[in-house]
């Protein structure tokens, strides 16, 4: 080998960081480096199998696809060789000089968040190729690309910031051969027994012949093609980590096969951790697509709807044409069909899970509910079957207990025509507000939403089992005659009518679009109702925000319907005050209006309110002799 043509390169800054962490960690499971390198060899072989199907001209097309591992105790090295796609000079720089692997990115991010304490993280995330430097003094990566014009190359690094690439004199066969020169403490990995033990743990699913020092180790094990009863729980978990590059345990999985409308064998995993919850940004699905074990696409587009992007796993369809290009594949009717089958299966699986273990499902809803919410809001085709998976609290259940729409409908009385909900920051604020009492006094259940998205989601849904889903603060809800409980005598109808007219005149039509006696009110003196039945207060808040002026506050009045409670003492007093003390009556009317807006969450500019309250207080205390 000549050294004259060696070119020197520096690692990308992020790679340096990873190498530094890897080299200085006292991580105990150092053997994962072997898992990573064998996985890479296997990936390179899968890609080769595919490349052979799609490319006309391939270097050494007849060479068998296999992995050969050679521990060498004397030399203190371990070699991992594959006959896969190999790499060109540019690919070496791109793939081994920068961080391309998303798991490694996630790893770095997590390290930054943790500010140290990286021990378990390497094992959890896997840092791919770079994990070799946990055990190596030096790594040599000999490689020859499948491309006819490829060169025989050697990439060398001791993991200290730089690497070299040179052409080697001997003509290499296709693929890659890694020579890992082991650190003294890790010379164990140059012993066959030790390596065999590690390989048997990790390489079970390598779908290529695996040779260890002259011994053939395993045959392929595509567990997704087996029947459920033949696969152990441990095998699923190992597969999840190996195949899906996952660093957590799977929460759950579904393994199924279907014949119609097309042949599918699939295992889909639900991760334990929401991949978007830790600030890692948008998740990308880790579901690979195969045809009779052959990898067709490791990142197939449109295989799952967007809202299922947190899923991981494998899908195999014998009906896929092998040599289809990715571009035609992602728009093909076949992919759409598979997508449909998978989506329905996942939804059915979740529904069964919810029935069988509601508590587990409630936890899932808490962690992954946002994906399902997104599904209900955006996936029109599946909206109806997704809706029963929605969960929220309700007025008739204990705090913390969740209910579903089917359960709600089941509990509805015959006379109830619509599904009601209220939005608020929390249970207390909804219960203290003026909207619930009318429903409560009539024994009508109201769903409680604490999340602006829930409001949006139910709006998109708009009906469930042919029942409109309506915000309970809407004006035109007919709750029928109510048993008026625990309140005093009502003001006579004519008096009420004139009081309401007066109230509207005092406030103006642009604030009070309508004013009437409130049939719904029990304990509150007044309530502001929403003119648009299908738009809740929180939606209106959003609309208002869009019309804000430059001060950031909107002074534009909100036109609402105000209902006054004919039985409430304050309303009685207000009626009397109109004659006795018109000035105070006006202030009180304005204050009542503002209060209803506060309760509705619609008062944006409280500037005038404090001043008015002081004036009212002054006027009231003026009626009482001051203390001496």
Which residue ranges make up the site for Mg ion (CB under 5 A)? 40, 128
Q: How far is the CB of 128 from ligand ADP (least distance, A)?
A: 2
- Map residues 167-186 to x or -, x wherever contact with ligand ADP holds by CB under 6 A: ---------x----------
DSSP symbols for 343-380? HHHHHHHHHHHHHH-HHHHHHHHHHHHHHHHHHHHH-T
Q: How far is the CB of 193 from ligand ADP (least distance, A)?
A: 24
Q: How far is CA 73 from CA 52, 82, 166, 189, in A?
A: 36, 21, 27, 8
Applying CB under 6 A, which part among 81-89, 217-225, 281-289, 470-478 lies near ligand ADP?
81-89
Q: How far is the CB of 36 from Mg ion (least distance, A)?
A: 5
Q: How far is the CB of 40 from Mg ion (least distance, A)?
A: 4
Closer to ligand ADP by Cβ: residue 107 or 408: 107
| Alpha carbon distance 409, 592 (integer Å) | 36
What would you report as the CA-atom Rg of the chain, rounded to the nearest whole angstrom? 34
Applying CB under 6 A, which part among 83-91, 346-354, 367-375, 523-531 lies near ligand ADP?
83-91
Q: How far is the CB of 275 from Mg ion (least distance, A)?
A: 18
Applying CB under 6 A, which part among 24-32, 92-100, 447-455, 508-516 lies near ligand ADP?
92-100
Beta-carbon contacts of residue 158 (< 8 Å; ≥ 6 apart): 137, 138, 139
Judged by DSSP in three states, 429 sits in helix
Q: How far is the CB of 357 from ligand ADP (least distance, A)?
A: 34
Applying CB under 6 A, which part among 95-103, 247-255, 360-368, 613-621 lies near ligand ADP?
95-103
Closer to ligand ADP by Cβ: residue 247 or 435: 247
Q: Give the sheet arrangement for strand 264-271, strand by strand.
A: 250-258, 264-271, 312-316, 286-291, 294-297
> What number of chain residues touch ligand ADP (CB under 6 A)?
17
Six-digit token string for 239: 């597969």
Q: How far is the CB of 41 from Mg ion (least distance, A)?
A: 9
Contact 537, 469 (CB under 8 A): no
Q: How far is the CB of 15 from ligand ADP (least distance, A)?
A: 10
Nearest of 362, 429, 456 to residue 400 by alpha carbon = 362
Choose which of 87, 198, 430, 512 interacts with ligand ADP (CB under 6 A): 87
Instruction: Name 314's bridge partners.
Output: 267, 288
Choose which of 31, 66, 82, 297 interacts with ligand ADP (CB under 6 A): 82
Q: What part of residues 128-147 is at the interface with ligand ADP (CB under 6 A)?
A: 128-129
Six-digit token string for 498: 């004139």
Q: Which does 95 bind (CB under 5 to 8 A by kind): ligand ADP, Mg ion, none?
A: ligand ADP
DSSP symbols for 105-170? HHHHHHHHHHTS--HHHHHHH--GGGGGGGTEEEEEEEEE-SSTT--EEEEEE-SSSEEEEEE-SS
Nearest of 247, 231, 326, 325 to residue 286 by alpha carbon = 247
Closer to Mg ion by Cβ: residue 93 or 396: 93
Q: How far is the CB of 552 from Mg ion (least distance, A)?
A: 50
Q: Which does 84 bind (CB under 5 to 8 A by kind): ligand ADP, Mg ion, none?
A: ligand ADP
Q: Output DSSP code: residue 481.
A: S
Closer to Mg ion by Cβ: residue 298 or 586: 298
Sign for the pseudo-dihedral over CA of 321, 327, 330, 331:
negative
Q: Are strands 67-72 and 210-212 parallel, antiparallel or unpaired?
A: parallel
Q: Which does 367 bind (CB under 5 to 8 A by kind): ligand ADP, Mg ion, none?
A: none
Applying CB under 6 A, which part among 33-41, 248-256, 466-474, 491-499 lies near ligand ADP?
33-41
Closer to ligand ADP by Cβ: residue 53 or 231: 53
Closer to ligand ADP by Cβ: residue 82 or 316: 82
Nearest of 311, 379, 248 to residue 390 by alpha carbon = 379
Buried b (16+ CB within 10 A) or exposed e, 409-431: eeebeeebebbbbbbbeeeeebb
Q: Which does 44 bind (CB under 5 to 8 A by kind): Mg ion, ligand ADP, none?
A: ligand ADP
Applying CB under 6 A, which part among 38-46, 50-58, 393-401, 461-469 lies near ligand ADP?
38-46
Closer to ligand ADP by Cβ: residue 16 or 619: 16
Instruction: Name 82's bridge partners.
Output: 67, 176
Q: How far is the CB of 169 from ligand ADP (least distance, A)?
A: 21
Nearest of 210, 207, 216, 196 to residue 243 by alpha carbon = 207
Q: What part of residues 555-614 is at the interface with ligand ADP (CB under 6 A)?
A: none
Applying CB under 6 A, which part among 80-88, 148-156, 379-387, 499-507 lies near ligand ADP?
80-88
Choose which of 95, 109, 298, 332 interacts with ligand ADP (CB under 6 A): 95
Closer to ligand ADP by Cβ: residue 125 or 269: 125
Q: How far is CA 149 from CA 57, 88, 144, 218, 601, in A?
A: 10, 9, 10, 33, 69
Nearest of 286, 271, 254 to residue 350 by alpha carbon = 254
Sign for the pseudo-dihedral over CA of 616, 617, 618, 621:
positive
Closer to ligand ADP by Cβ: residue 83 or 504: 83
Choose which of 40, 157, 317, 565 interacts with ligand ADP (CB under 6 A): 40
44 binds ligand ADP per the rule CB under 6 A: yes
- Tell me the three-class secondary structure of 77-104, residue by residue: EEEEEECCCCCCHHHHHHHHHCCCCHHH
Six-digit token string for 293: 């074990």
Closer to ligand ADP by Cβ: residue 14 or 352: 14
Closer to Mg ion by Cβ: residue 102 or 573: 102
Q: Inter-axis angle of helices 569-580 and 493-507, to 10 degrees?
A: 70
101 binds ligand ADP per the rule CB under 6 A: yes
100 binds ligand ADP per the rule CB under 6 A: yes
Residues that bind ligand ADP (CB under 6 A): 36, 40-41, 43-44, 82, 84-87, 95-96, 100-101, 128-129, 176
């Amino acid at each position: 080998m000549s050294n004259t043509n060696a070119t020197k390169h520096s690692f990308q800054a992020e790679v340096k960081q990873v190498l530094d962490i890897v080299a200085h960690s006292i991580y105990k499971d150092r053997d994962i480096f072997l898992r990573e390198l064998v996985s890479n060899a296997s990936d390179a072989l899968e890609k080769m199998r595919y490349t052979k199907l799609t490319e006309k001209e391939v270097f050494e097309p007849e060479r068998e696809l296999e992995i050969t591992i050679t521990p060498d105790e004397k030399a203190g090295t371990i070699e991992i060789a594959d006959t896969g796609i190999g790499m060109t000079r540019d690919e070496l720089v791109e793939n081994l000089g920068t961080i391309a692997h998303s798991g490694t990115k996630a790893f770095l991010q997590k390290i930054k968040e943790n500010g140290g304490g990286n021990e378990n993280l390497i094992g959890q995330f896997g840092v791919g190729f770079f994990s070799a430097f946990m055990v190596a003094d030096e790594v040599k990566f000999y490689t020859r690309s499948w491309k006819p014009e490829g060169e025989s190359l050697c990439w060398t690094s001791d993991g200290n910031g730089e690497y070299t690439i040179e052409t080697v004199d001997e003509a290499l066969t296709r693929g890659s051969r890694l020579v890992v020169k082991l650190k003294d403490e890790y010379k164990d990995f140059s012993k066959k027994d030790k390596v065999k033990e590690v390989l048997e743990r990790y390489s079970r699913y390598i779908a290529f012949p695996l040779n260890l020092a002259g011994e053939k180790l395993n045959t392929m094990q595509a567990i997704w093609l087996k029947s459920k009863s033949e696969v152990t729980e441990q095998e699923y978990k190992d597969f999840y980590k190996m195949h899906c590059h996952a660093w957590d345990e799977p929460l759950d999985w579904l393994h199924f096969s279907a014949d119609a409308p097309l042949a599918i064998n699939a295992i889909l995993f639900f991760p334990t951790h929401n991949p978007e919850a830790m600030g890692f940004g948008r998740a990308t699905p880790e579901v690979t697509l195969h045809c009779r074990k052959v990898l067709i696409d490791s990142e197939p587009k449109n295989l799952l709807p967007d809202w299922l992007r947190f899923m991981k796993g494998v899908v195999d369809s014998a009906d896929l044409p092998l040599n289809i290009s990715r571009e035609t594949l992602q728009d093909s009717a076949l992919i759409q069909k598979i997508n449909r089958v998978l989506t329905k299966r996942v939804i059915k699986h979740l529904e069964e899970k919810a029935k069988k273990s509601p508590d587990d499902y409630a936890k899932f809803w808490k962690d992954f509910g946002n994906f399902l919410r997104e599904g209900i809001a955006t996936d029109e085709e599946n909206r109806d079957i997704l809706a029963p998976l929605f969960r929220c609290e309700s007025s008739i259940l204990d705090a913390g207990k969740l209910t579903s729409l089917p359960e709600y409908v089941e509990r509805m009385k015959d006379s109830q025509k619509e599904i009601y909900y209220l939005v608020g920051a929390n249970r207390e604020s909804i219960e203290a507000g003026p909207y619930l009492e009318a429903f409560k006094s009539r024994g009508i259940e109201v769903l409680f939403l604490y999340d602006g998205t829930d409001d949006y989601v139910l709006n998109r849904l708009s009906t469930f089992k042919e029942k409109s889903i309506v915000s309970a603060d809407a004006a035109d809800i007919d709750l029928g005659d109510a048993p008026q409980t625990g309140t005093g005598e009502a003001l006579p109808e004519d008096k009420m009518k004139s009081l309401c007219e007066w109230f509207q005149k005092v406030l103006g039509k642009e604030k009070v679009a309508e004013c009437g006696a409130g049939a719904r009110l029990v304990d509150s003196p007044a309530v502001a109702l929403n003119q648009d039945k299908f738009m809740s207060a929180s939606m209106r808040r959003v609309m208002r925000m869009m019309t804000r002026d430059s001060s950031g506050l909107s002074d534009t009045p909100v036109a609402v319907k105000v209902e006054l409670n004919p039985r409430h003492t304050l309303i009685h007093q207000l009626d009397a005050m109109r004659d006795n003390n018109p000035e105070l009556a006006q202030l009180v009317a304005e204050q009542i209006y503002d209060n209803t807006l506060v309760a509705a969450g619609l008062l944006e500019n409280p500037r005038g309110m404090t001043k008015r309250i002081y004036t009212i207080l002054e006027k009231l205390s003026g009626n009482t002799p001051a203390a001496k």
